[in-house]
Structure 1
Amino acid sequence: MLPAAQRLRRSADFGRTVKKGARAGRSTMVVHLLSQESDESAMVGFVVSKAVGNAVTRNRVKRRLRHASRSVVESLPNGTTVVVRALPGAVDCSYQELSKDLSACVARARRTRGRTPR
């Protein structure tokens, strides 16, 4: 479980990260990453829509993503916000695959955050 200080909760924070942040995706998820100057710790939020599955399935995907994000958040600089949007492909993946995809997406978004979107 992520500590409360590392959870993204406000709708405005989600919106700002999705609109202004760098995006990277895989078949299981899309990651939006926004780095800002701040003393707050890095924060992560999750979006798992009904397209992923029923409530039991969505909660299982969220639990796996939350657990996988613990190690990723610790490596991010302060002031970074990350929004992870799960795709229907995440249902059939193991925890190891989700963890690998999350790490790859965050690394890719960190590399592209300075570039302007096309």
Structure 2
Amino acid sequence: MVRLVKKIIRGKCPICGKEKVFGSKGNVFLFKAPKMKECCPNCQHKFEKEPGYFMGAMYVSYALSIAEMVTAFIISRLLGVPSDYILYLLLFIVMILWPFNFRMSRIIWMYLT
């Protein structure tokens, strides 16, 4: 179980666990999206099995975003951030973490299916 979580966090291939799924992580500030490899260089596993395969990853991304926003909301309330600014803080966090959510949701989806 620990090995599985490590492979997911590191973004490794779900079959061999040796090569990374994404070639680039993306950059929010440069408006670059993460770039996914077509197949694993080690085991030749094709990552996108069919068109629309990653539609289910949207649900995983939604769950990740909600978890991040709930965590940020609780921390901001504990730190005494005024209620007027919490919405802006949550929007900022979601915008900054979208490349991470994109990568993690696809990797988690590949491991689930």
Report which of the two has the higher share of helix.
Answer: 2
Asked whether the two chains share a fold, i.e. TM above 0.5, the reply is: no
> Which TM bucket (shorter chain)?
under 0.3
- Give the TM-score of the pair, scaled to structure 2: 0.25
User: Greater relative contact order: 1 or 2 (C-alpha under 8 angstroms, separation 6 or more)?
Assistant: 1
Report which of the two has the higher share of strand.
Answer: 1
- Give the TM-score of the pair, scaled to structure 1: 0.25
